[in-house]
Amino acid sequence: MFKKLWQGLTKTRQGFVDRIKAVVGSSTAIDDQLFEELEEILITADVGVDTTINLLDRVRAEVRARRLFDPQDVIGVLQEQIQQMLAEGSGELDLTKKPTVILVVGVNGTGKTTTIGKLAHRFRQDGLSVIIAAADTFRAAAIEQLQAWGQRAGADVVHHQAGSDPAAVVFDALAAARARRADAVIIDTAGRLHTQRNLMEELKKVRRVVAREVPDAPHEVLLVVDATTGQNGLQQARLFGEAVQVSGIVLTKLDGTAKGGIVIPIAAELGLPVKFVGVGEGVNDLQPFIAAEFVPALFGDHKL
């Protein structure tokens, strides 16, 4: 698992951490110039202005408290503070209810449907019975894609014809879950309607149906964010969070970007736990997010 994560973060490490190490290595003192250079690197790595300022304030405070003078020590303090920030906003999926209903949202192109397939595969590997609701009825390819994933993972897929009412698909999927005593229901949703308002209203409608049919559901609302979009992903998290009460983030395509720093403001600014990260195209490349493993992999510790 760590090997996959380490390899998947290669581009971010090269575009982010290696630059930090180069700046620190060329510095002769822990001074304002060093922090200004660190600030520039963090912002260009899509950590964001607010989170960067907060993070470096924490680093400065620790440097003073520990009376550090060697610039090399800054790397360790920075790593500690990033890990602490991420740990404050991390968490596991709640799979205690039966059925556990997971609503998956996100704009088209983020890897939402693939993420659902990988989640289903993961749950099946853990011995759980899974039903997938193909409620993105506005994109015909999404239904076919989920059917293929369902067959691959051994999960049942409930679907209607393309263009059908998504809420009706969800209703049928939840009825099937009760009848079959399924452990988990994963619901795909539309990622693009002709206006943002329509999309959010559709998602709210689906959420209402879920809440009506299963007490306390949805138990998880996962927002799939494409790491390559950087700060745009942060804005998506805000918008979806306002509409459907997102409970966690799945950050995909970390292996294809140097902007992996976006994980930090998602946790720090939004207070949303990052629950899974995607570090490749393979069926097992969707991994639970663990800050204590993510940060060492990001900083290139324990090279493989």
Q: Position 77: which residue type?
A: V
Q: Same domain, yes or no, for 43 and 131?
A: no
The verdict on pTM exceeding 0.75 is yes
Can you give the C-alpha Rg of the chain in angstroms? 21
Boundary of a domain, candidates 63, 88, 113: 88
Peptide bond preceding 218: is omega within 30 degrees of 0, i.e. cis?
A: yes
Are 137 and 164 within 8 A, CB to CB?
A: yes
pLDDT by position in tens, the chain (length 304): 677 888 888 888 888 888 999 999 999 999 999 999 999 999 988 888 999 999 999 999 999 999 999 999 999 999 999 999 888 766 678 788 999 999 999 988 889 999 999 999 999 999 999 999 999 998 879 999 999 999 999 999 999 999 999 999 999 999 999 999 999 999 999 988 666 888 889 999 999 999 999 989 999 999 999 888 878 888 888 888 888 889 999 999 888 877 778 888 888 888 888 999 988 888 888 988 988 888 888 888 644 4
CA distance 134 to 154: 15
Q: Same domain, yes or no, for 82 and 147?
A: no
Half-sphere exposure of 63 (CA within 13 A, CB side): 22
Name residues whose C-beta falls within 8 Å of residue 161's C-beta, 6 or more positions apart in sequence. Answer: 137
What's the CATH code of the domain at 45?
Answer: 1.20.120.140
Q: Same domain, yes or no, for 67 and 169?
A: no
pLDDT recorded at residue 58: 96
**The length of the chain, given as a count of residues:** 304
pLDDT recorded at residue 15: 81
CA distance 83 to 295: 6
Which has the closest alpha carbon to 249: 140, 41, 265, 259? 265
CA distance 58 to 155: 46
Domain that residue 203 falls in: 100-290
Q: Same domain, yes or no, for 80 and 127?
A: no
Residue 298 lies in a domain: no
Are 35 and 29 within 8 A, CB to CB?
A: no
Using CA atoms, how far residue 146 sits from 20, 134, 157, 169, in Å, is 42, 7, 7, 14
Q: How many domains does the chain have?
A: 2
Q: Same domain, yes or no, for 83 and 142?
A: no
What's the CATH code of the domain at 132?
Answer: 3.40.50.300
Using CA atoms, how far residue 81 sits from 53, 62, 75, 268, in Å, is 12, 9, 10, 11
